[in-house]
Amino acid sequence: MKISFIIPSYNNLRYLKSAYHSIRTWEDAEQEIVVLDDASVDGTVEWLKSLEDPNLIIWENETGKRLGHTITYDIGVDLSTTDIFSIFHADMFIGPNYVQNLVKHLDKQKVVAATRIEPPLHPSGREKITRDFGVWPEDFREDDFIEFVREEQERSKDQTTKGIFAPWSMYKEDFLKIGGHDSLFAPFPYEDSDIFQRFLLAGYEVLQSRDALVYHLTCRGHKWTDDEIVTKVDGDYEEIITNAKRNFIRKWGSWIMNDEWMHPIIIPKYNTCLIADNVDSVEQLDNLEPWFCHTVIDSFDLVAQYLYKEQSNTILDMSQRISTKEMEEYSDYGVKIYVDLHQLTSEDYGNLQRMNSILDQLNTSESPQLNLSGEYQLGNIKVQIDSLDNSTDSLIVVENYSYEVSK
């Protein structure tokens, strides 16, 4: 079966050559490869064009400004000509029978992930296999990797687990039904965790093929120089990660949770409003605002400062998320949380950030004596519950900015 490999690349030619080589070595030449060059300056486009590959689609970001893979993945899906695509990284190398061992499990409203083999640069996990076949393309021990893949495929033939992580494949039609990746997470990251949760809420089955194997060299996010392996600490990079994390919490009301197989655990997002007294600084708001649908404080000046600081970090309308008590009528929120910041302990802050989990435990309790409406005292936090309706299903489908693409 013919699929499209969707591969964003930003100054990753060194790795992209290996990814391309693996696909053309271990899969039929008819398999489609879509490479999205995101304003690289390393000769990526020139090299791709020199291949003269009739089943290679090249898209070039000519703006000079990086869009990020949250956007370029979706451009690639739009450009693809097949019914099925595989979200792929430029630093991955497939093993034999990759496509066959993915699509044998695939159907409409299913998402099938491959199994990553990685060097020990990340924590180990049950969703991956930790083996070191090299961390640089020039040092990659391809023969040893292929031998291991064949042995592993015998051990894991036709086996699946319930985890999901890149690389993953699905029908293009199902991807488009939910709007693709959410541009809230542009340029990156956490667009993957967001869409995985949306897959589940949309009723799609997610699973991992244990005999579709790929080696992940783990390049740009965790290698800083050509001489050593370190964690990126560049200021811009750290700011991007922080903003994406805060936007994830704003959207979902909680942070990412997965089981041991990397299967998402979704906490419902309840209709919460935080009413806070004695807020003295923008830094205090940093720790509170993302976790609630709306935040109400006394100080107009602090609201203005916070909006000025945060609006450039998100496409969300922050004026709809924070206001003063004089500006906001907050009776429509099903759960109101009252706090005095001068009284809060570290345990209280932890409970505020876990509020949706706490509310979900109340909502799913089987105790017949439990009255969900009313006031509760949780440490120094007063919780008033009028209703426990949640808005989680409204998060499934997204509407994104459109970008001009041409084939």
DSSP three-state, residue 78: helix
pLDDT surpassing 90 at residue 370: no
Phi, psi values for residue 268, rounded to 5°: -55, 145
The pTM (predicted TM-score) of the whole model is 0.93
Say what the pLDDT of residue 223 is. 46
Say what the pLDDT of residue 401 is. 54
Can you tell me the mean pLDDT for 130-156? 96
85 with 3: CB under 8 angstroms? yes
Locate the domains of the chain by residue range.
4-252, 272-392
379 with 348: CB under 8 angstroms? yes
pLDDT digits (tens, 9 = 90+) for 284-333: 999 999 999 999 999 999 999 999 999 999 999 999 999 998 766 677 89
Q: Which two tokens stand for residue 62?
A: 């000519």
pLDDT surpassing 70 at residue 406: no
DSSP three-state, residue 53: coil
pLDDT surpassing 60 at residue 376: yes
Helix (H) or strand (E) holding 130: strand 128-130
| The domain over range 4-252 is classified in CATH as 3.40.50.980 | no
- Write the DSSP assignment of 302-364 as a string of letters: HHHHHHHHHGGG-SS-GGGTEEETTT---TT-SEEEEEEGGG--HHHHHHHHTHHHHHHHHHT
The residues that bridge with 9 in the sheet, in sequence order, are 37
Task: Choose among 308, 298, 307, 303: nearest CA to 275.
Answer: 298
- Residue 135: CB partners within 8 Å, gap ≥ 6? 119, 121, 217, 218, 223, 229
Say what the pLDDT of residue 362 is. 86
Q: How far is CA 251 from CA 50, 181, 239, 277, in A?
A: 43, 14, 18, 24
Can you tell me the mean pLDDT for 134-147? 94
Q: Which two tokens stand for residue 103?
A: 């699509």
Q: Which two tokens stand for residue 367?
A: 């105790």
pLDDT surpassing 60 at residue 71: yes
The residues that bridge with 87 in the sheet, in sequence order, are 6, 168
